[in-house]
Structure 1
Amino acid sequence: MQSSHAAAAVSSAFDDPNLIAYGGLEPVVRLAERCGLPALVGEYIRLPASKDGTGAFPAAKVMSLVGGMVAGADSIDDMHRLRHGAMGRLFSGVRAPSTLGSFLRSFTHGHVKQLHAVARRFLPELARHAPLLPGADQVAYVDIDDTIRRTYGYAKQGTGYGYSKVKGLNALLGIVSTPLAAPVIAATRLRKGPSNSARGAAAFVAETIRTARACGANGLLVMRADSAFYGADVVNSCRALGARFSITVRMNASVKAAIARIDEDAWMPIKYPKAVWDEEGQCWISDAEIAETTYTAFTSKPKKQQVTARLIVRRVKRLSTGTVPAGQGTLFDTWRYHAAFTDSPLSLNDAERDHRRHAVVEQVIADVKNSAFAHAPSGHFQANAAWLALAALAHNLTRAAGALAGTFHARATTATIRDHLINVPARLARSARRLTLHLPERWPWSTDFTQLFSIVHAPPAP
């Protein structure tokens, strides 16, 4: 590629009032309105009245924040992107960044809980209007994990050093996915940086499972988590709501003893990275093997809190025959062991493979951190908690737009959806009291954009 004109023949000027940088934001905002987001905000968020009007018109302010995040904003100042060119003619009620910042800083813990209530009700509406979770009536997965959002300086409330030895805030996410669908965020919590991962996990798991059920996950529902969430309260919370669990266990003495009791003939090779299929033996030749045994967990708890289920173990050959971790003995001289405690009804091979797919939550965390939650933008803790909840709303709304656009964008990251379908330059024209978005000729993803646009502007089903 090279310039087609001499440098002196090219000039620039920011002088066209009819241009828009985010033409795809219009159908996304229309989708949010069709799913009732402004009405939910008006019903559930009750900010106190003030002389400066901070608590007034919460629906317009939430829609401005979510719209900005969908367009790529990752800080309060980034909301300026909604106030350029013809945006004021295409959208009404867009608020200035200073107003939005004051709005967020007015949030208390109770107001953040109100925003969580909005999110819990909005996601099932999205699932009803878009093929967001296909196959959820057969099988679905809830994945729980937390992450540290790094912060800098000393002005932010709640920051501290957590398990990763990084100074920041602790964000807890609960996601829902199916084998056919990309994950959406069902619940969020922002916690102080030094918070233990499992703090409040049982209630959080219950909330995520209930939201998943409301989204149509009425078949097999499996909650997956890593060893930080291995506890009697989390497991029993799943069982109380009719969900299955699959949780990585810590290698304590009783787990090691259970692994030692597994007969050597019970181990079977699995398809693992670098595994080779042996035609003659009709099996995988791999350095990974799996087996299972029955295990009773939480024996130090009262009898009613103890749980007996399957202990699924994967072992991988050690690359080094050097020092074995203390306390593991000769059992671990050759193999590294990874165990999951589960009551999954699937076969051993399927249950073990499904548990490894818990890593999908890391993709969501990376996606959110590369978009709206790239920063914790405020010095106020509750403002950042509200920002995280709004980032989840924007993530789910973007996913729903991608699902309506077509099969490719239904599985794409939000960054890809934003680049292909939302950040589309457009020129706004008015004729006969009708607005028209003139979009670039030969746009590579025009078919998917047109499909999304047509669906959200079609008359609603009776």
Structure 2
Amino acid sequence: MLQIEVRTRYSQEVKLNRKKPFAVVKSKCSKQTFTQNERPQTVRSRKQDLTRRVNKELSIKFTESGLTSYAGFELLTNYLSRIGLNSVIRRHLGRADLAGDYGVVSMLRLILGMLIAGGRRLQHVEYLRSDPVLLRFCHLAKLPGERTLSRWLKNFKAATLERLYDLNAEIVGRVVGLLDLGAITVDVDGTVVSTGMKVERAFRGYNPHRRKVPSYYPITAALAETGHMLRVKNRSGNVHDGKASIAFLRALFGQIRETLGGAKKVRLRMDGAFFSEEVLRLVRSRGAGYAIKVPFWRCLDLKGVISRSRRWSRVGRGIDCLEYRLEMWGMEHRVVIYRKKVGHRTRKNYQLDLFDPDDGHWEYSAVTTDLPLGGKRLWHFMCGRGVHEKIIGRMKSDLAFGSVPTNHYGANSAWQQMATLAHNLLINFQIETGASRRHRSWKNTLVYRLKSVRTLRFELLCRAGRVVNPNGKTVLKLSRNDIARKSYLLLADSLKNIA
């Protein structure tokens, strides 16, 4: 474990020519005296003291004197050591067929470190080659090249990917299982990852922003209380969640039962693509609560229900609702229909002919649920699905979840699993090192105030430092910054309590 030392860099004082005042005014106030323990009042700095001249460009010199751009990774290294990540990796992937000169622990930690540091392509490993703190994080003396990483990722097949699923499930369950959560809310949804034309098992499908572009369509399940990504499975782009999600949901229920405990009440939130007989029967058979968007199919006659209804219950400003009992697939469904007043004609034309255009335009949506929630609370509960979209967006932009590093399906699927693992490890790191709790609402069910990966990089991870060996003891030196120093010391103290 490195010893972290914060030092001050003294700069040369710049002498300024001060002009003499043209007048002197004597003050009638008594002269203030300060004791040894009392500090004088702070005064505003002069404008001349705020700026400095830059005469010419600095000369650049590259050296191998232990400089690092990722000093904060030492705290992350200490955390992973305390939770025994290496043992967990060996237990799940130690017997997997992942041949190579580098061990599976070092290779997996290297990709995790590269993703957390901001790398998005395999060739970005070359920019980390001489960083001493990243080498310590990976437990390596020399980093592999881009092609070595590519060959290693292409060793992942269906069986080895299942081991990655189990590894991620254990990492999530380690923290979530200790939290006092009587009920958990799970958001299930798919997301589009556009690919190139020659990527294996990438097909044209649902891709609204880049139509006719081949893509993957991974399905994800996020825990709304903590922001963890419970499970991710990569799929081709030409699948539909109504039928292709059954196996994923079965595996998700099994994971929750094994890692989070079967006593917890599970509530699922899903969009209209999951409104199918198979999904509803599966969810009901597992005893889970659900809230699923209902598409406006003609066979459901929801427009007819709206046209015949004259009484709406107020939900909020410009939002009303009504309840309806729907008989379908041999089951009775409670459906809540919402209308929201907007000041424009929407692209999908939600406006019905029965309303006078002078009353404005309305957008309609419907939700089926078995939860004991009224119309108002159910509206806010479904609006909380936006947290899942935010998590996916941050994983794509901050942890390269949306990148396609190779043309191999197994390698790309493993890359997504490692990005998910990095996301969950950073959440665990914040929760176990003292993340503050937040006020929960009907809409936002997050328990902790968590920082994004970009914020962690700026405030903690990507700090300049130097690794030195005075008297044979390795020390990590950082430039002095009061805010950064306070954060480092607080985290270092919190890490001592993790076992």
Residue deviations 1:170-196 (CA, integer Å, cap 9, x gap): 222111122xx4x11111111112222
Question: Is 99-108 or 214-223 further displaced after alignment?
Answer: 214-223
Structure 2's unaligned 5+ residue stretches are 1-49, 438-447
Q: Does 1:424 align with 2:467?
A: no
Structure 1 residues 34 and 331, CA gap change in structure 2 (3 angstroms) = farther
Give 1:207's aligned residue: 251
Confirm or deny that 1:162 pairs with 2:210. Answer: no
For residues 288-308 of structure 1, the C-alpha deviation after alignment (integer angstroms, 9 at most, x for no partner) is: 1122233334x2xxx4xx3x3
1:413 aligned residue (452, 456, 459): 452
**Bigger Rg over Cα:** 2
Residue aligning to 1:239 = 284
Residues 305-316 of structure 1: matches in 2 within 5 Å? 306=331, 308-316=332-340
1:4-54 CA-partner distances (Å, limit 9, x unpaired): 43115x22212142221112222223323433332232222234375xx26
**Structure 1: distance between partners of 2:222 and 2:302:** 31
User: Could you list the runs of 5+ residues in structure 1 that have no partner in the other structure?
Assistant: 272-285
1:223 partnered with 2:223: no
One-letter code aligned to 1:312? V
Q: Percent identity?
A: 20
Instruction: Tell me how far apart the structure 2 counterparts of residues 2 and 198 of structure 1 sit (CA, whole Å).
Output: 62
Q: Is the 8 A contact 1:28 1:397 kept in 2?
A: no
* Matched residues, number: 425
Q: CA separation in 2, counterparts of 1:77 and 1:435? A: 30
Q: 1:62 to 1:205 in 2, by over 3 A?
A: same
Q: Secondary structure at the match of 1:161?
A: coil
Q: Which moved more, 1:380-389 or 1:16-25?
A: 16-25
Distance in 2 separating the partners of 1:263 and 1:197: 32
TM-score, with length taken from structure 1: 0.82
Cα distance, 1:234 vs structure 2? 2.0
Structure 2 CA distance, aligned partners of 1:13 and 1:359? 47
Partner of 2:174: 125
Quick one: structure 1 residues 243 and 431, their matched pair in 2 at CA, closer, same or farther if it must change by over 3 Å? farther
Per the alignment, residue 221 of structure 2 pairs with 174
Query: Which residue of structure 1 aligns with residue 155 of structure 2?
Result: 106
Is 117-126 or 363-372 further displaced after alignment?
117-126
What CA distance in whole angstroms lies between the structure 2 residues aligned with 1:370 and 1:161?
23
User: Quick one: which of 229, 241, 255 aligns to 1:197?
Assistant: 241
- Contact 1:151–1:168 at 8 Å: present in 2 too? yes
Amino acid at match of 1:237: L
Q: Which has the higher strand share?
A: 1
Per-residue CA distance 1:220-270 (angstroms, 9 max, x = gap): 4211111111122222332333321111011123251673387533x2222
Read off the aligned partner of 2:421 and give its amino acid letter: L
Contact residue 245 and residue 342 of structure 1 kept, 8 A: yes
Alpha-carbon spacing, 1:329–1:123, altered in 2? closer, same or farther (3 Å): same
The CA deviation string for residues 44-80 of structure 1, in whole angstroms up to 9 with x for no partner, is 2234375xx26x6212211111121112121212223
Change (3 A) 1:356 1:438: same
Q: Which amino acid aligns with 1:32?
A: L
Aligned to 1:86: 132
The answer (yes or no) to whether the contact 1:405–1:449 under 8 Å persists in 2 is no
- Cα 1:204/1:35, change in 2 over 3 Å: farther
RMSD: 3.1
Distance in 1 (CA, whole Å) between partners of 2:349 and 2:175 is 48
Match in the other structure for 1:287? 318
2:294 corresponds to which residue? 249
Indicate the residue corresponding to 1:29 in structure 2. Answer: 77
Q: Could you state the TM-score of these two structures normalised by the residue count of structure 2?
A: 0.76
Alignment-derived partner of residue 60 in structure 1: 106
Moved more, 237-246 or 438-447: 438-447
Deviation at residue 376 of structure 1 after TM alignment: 0.8
Matched to 1:349, the amino acid is: K
- Rate the CA distance shift 1:143–1:88 in 2: closer, same or farther, 3 A: closer
